[in-house]
Structure 1
Amino acid sequence: MDSITPNEIDIVRASSSKINEIDFENLAFGNIFTDHMLMCDFRDGKWQKPTIKPYEPFLLDPSAKVFHYGQAIFEGMKAYKDESDDVWLFRPDENFRRFNASAKRMAMPEVPEDIFLGGLHEILKIEKEWVRKGKGNTLYIRPFMIAIGTGVIAAPSTQYRFMIILSPAKSYYSGEVKVIIAEHFSRAANGGIGAAKAAGNYSAQFYPTKLANDKGFQQIIWTDDATHTKLEEAGTMNVFFRINDTLFTAPTSERILDGVTRKSIISLAEREGIDIQVRSVLVAELVEAAKNGSLKEIFGAGTAAVVNPIVGFSYQDEYFELPKIENSVALKLKDKLTNIQYKLEEDTFGWTVKI
């Protein structure tokens, strides 16, 4: 998929660019947006003609379903620029697939490939200069869809809006990350929408995360809703544990997001000869490993942060500091993954797509 043809999309260029006003060396994640956005509405049972237009606010009726019943989904992706000034995407087909899986779970219409991927290629061609060279510089991509149909009856909307907005980014997290293992709150439940990238999944995390922040911790490692004995995700990321020389991560389920970075880390670990097991890890198992010294690393994995090492965790008011180690598996895998994304290393998996 290269792009949709010009007669299949309306393009309205911004009269001027704000790019020269941006300090690209000091970016707060997700606060600055590029000059253009893509918008496409679903009405009368079909998708309308997409438009790329200047980034701007838009009006919605106060009774729009998104405000009342939370029909809203999103994805997180990145664009990278190599040393030859070419722009690349990383596994965009996986984000497209997952977006439509989320849409289906939320009773929303699936977005056609030519609108999602084709429109993405087209807007990235326009905003190419916003993608800066250099490892660590990216253009964060936020495709999302909201219910814009009106009325407060509790039923799915009949009208939707699909959009893509772009934000130049550097590192998502900074500083050391300490976590609390959840004993009461849950991120998701069996039969729920935990496997969808639905907006409500994230807002439900804000209160327990605030409680953790008040205690001096940055994130929560979520546990299963039924017993709180199985470790599932870390904050907004999938989570990995290294016990001795084996990596562990929980299997995906209807509670756990099928992370693109997660599956890429698994494939890279297998290629590098690292022993990796996809199975449930028990809280008791982690605590015991921390006590006997066999727990070497914990790290989160996701699009925004890529790989984020965790320096310690708290459980039942007992804090366990992880050892300072050389030859970190987390950092090795992060380096391998980002080298592929920035075209500094051969992509033997066929993950990267040129714009």
Structure 2
Amino acid sequence: MKDGIPLEIDVVEASASKIGSVDFDNLIFGNIFTDHMMVCDYVNGEWQAPSIQPYGPIQLEPSAKVFHYGQAIFEGMKAFKDDEDQVWLFRPEANFERFNRSSKRLAIPEFPKDMFFEGLETLLNLDREWIKKGFGNSLYIRPFVIATEPGVSASPSKTYKFMIICSPAKAYYSGEVRVVFAEKFSRAADGGVGYAKAAGNYGAQFYPTNLAKEEGFQQIVWTDANTHEYLEEAGTMNIFFRVGNKLITAPTSDRILDGVTRKSVITLAEEFNIPVEVRRVKVQEIVEAAEKGELKEIFGAGTAATINPVKGFGHAGKKFELPEQEDSYASFFKSKLMAIQYNKTEDKFGWRYAVKER
């Protein structure tokens, strides 16, 4: 709706669905995409009418500014289906707000809320059969925007393309995850774009992450760029530490992404009287807690992974393994979050968003 008038979304359906060829029991995260995508262009100073089209390639000029100056941001969301075939989103307004914060930081025009939600719901209804029931099944939703203006002058683009593509998903990580605390490389610096979901943030971390993988680690927990003394966030997740029965996580800043799952974990911890401290976390504090046997858990929190336990970590050439916990906070928070996401329990926080059938 815009000014009380329904938005007109042009829908061109795929001639045939490819869903029959997909093995939903053996999905690789982010490799298979649904039949349709949402597309909207920014031209002449405004966002044009959005459309739904069959999923497929797009055409860009080699001089498009996204290739030369990296004007590109994205979001990660999920849709879930309950036992009654109702489709739900989890805190989508928080994702939308962060999408526009990221856009603003990259000098990209903010996207209208009515277009975002109307287009997203139209797309999800069209590809509703791709959302499978059952814990662990979901549809990963990737909204993004790229600069499309031809030209290599170092200035913001005058044209952009907003899109949403969707991918059926199971667990993001399979197998055990171990992390290394960064000592040399940095993800973000004060005054930078660390808080935005800018494409370049992720591209820049691939090289040091590859080095970490050669040492047997799956991810890096980034430290502050100035001193490397404080732990901040992991490559694709915000990070939590359980010392004794206390939960600790770093505060958000212009270096750290304001994760939706992170915020939800903090709220749940407070609801269930689990001590939680949001403060700067020293590397040495966590190393010493591990040496004393006081570090019970590390886990990551993010849209793709939900909650992902960390089995061990490395720092300064030393490796530490974490003990198995019968009363795992990671399992507790994951079960509470999934119960809300799949409509298995009361949603007292108002986090669920129903996608109405059309």
Deviation at 1:118, TM superposition (A): 1.4
Partner of 2:141: 141
Alignment of 1:178-327 (within 5 A): 178-327=178-327
Q: 1:132 to 1:5 in 2, by over 3 A?
A: farther
Q: Helix, strand or coil for the counterpart of 1:8?
A: coil
Superposed counterparts of 1:96-111, under 5 Å = 96-111=96-111
Instruction: Find the aligned partners of 1:319 and 1:53 in 2 and give their Cα distance.
Output: 49
Pairing 1:10-159 to 2, within 5 Å after superposition? 10-159=10-159
Query: What amino acid does structure 2 have at the position aligned with 1:264?
Result: S
Say yes or no: does 1:161 pair with 2:141. Answer: no
In 2, the alpha carbon distance for the partners of 1:188 and 1:64 equals 26
The structural deviation recorded for 1:6 is: 6.7
* Equivalent residue, structure 1, for 2:328: 328
1:171 has 2:171 as partner:
yes
CA shift, 1:114, in A, is 1.3
> Could you tell me how far apart the structure 1 residues matched to 2:15 and 2:7 are?
21
**Aligned equivalents of 2:130 and 2:321: distance in 1?**
40
Letter in 2 for 1:323: P
Tell me the distance in 1 between the aligned counterparts of 2:88 and 2:5: 20
Q: What is the alpha-carbon distance in structure 2 between the residues aligned to residue 153 and residue 12 of structure 1?
A: 36
- Give the structure-2-normalised TM-score: 0.97
CA deviation after TM superposition for structure 1 residue 7, in Å: 5.5
User: What is the root-mean-square deviation of aligned Cα atoms in Å?
Assistant: 1.2
3-state SS of the aligned residue for 2:205? helix
Q: Which amino acid aligns with 2:172?
A: Y
SS at match of 1:319: strand
Cα shift readout 1:273-304 (whole Å, capped 9, x = no counterpart): 10001001100100110011110000010000
| Cα distance between partner residues in 1 of 2:231 and 2:88 | 34
Whichever residue aligns with residue 303 of structure 2, its letter is T
Structure 2 distance, partners of 1:49, 1:133, is 32
CA, structure 1 residues 125+5, in 2 after alignment: closer, same or farther (shift >3 Å)? farther
Q: CA deviation at 1:116?
A: 1.1
Q: Secondary structure in 2 aligned to 1:202?
A: helix
**What is the distance in 2 between the residues matched to 1:98 and 1:50?**
20
> Any conservation in 1 of the 2:99–2:197 contact (CA below 8 Å)?
yes
Amino acid in the other structure paired with 1:129? E
The residue type equivalent to 1:136 in the other structure is G
Change (3 A) 1:17 1:5: farther
Counterpart CA distance in 1 for 2:5 and 2:262 is: 34
Query: What SS does the corresponding residue of 2:204 show, helix, strand or coil?
Result: helix
Q: Does the CA-based 8 Å contact 2:64-2:150 persist in structure 1? A: yes
Letter in 1 for 2:95: N
Letter in 2 for 1:179: V
Runs of 4+ displaced beyond 4 Å? 4-7
Whole-angstrom distance in 1 between the partners of 2:70 and 2:199: 7
Do the aligned partners of 2:11 and 2:51 also contact (CA within 8 Å) in 1? Answer: yes
* TM-score, normalised relative to structure 1: 0.98
Measure how far apart 1:324 and its partner are.
1.4
Question: How far 1:330 moved relative to its partner?
Answer: 1.0
Q: Unaligned 5+ residue runs, structure 1?
A: none
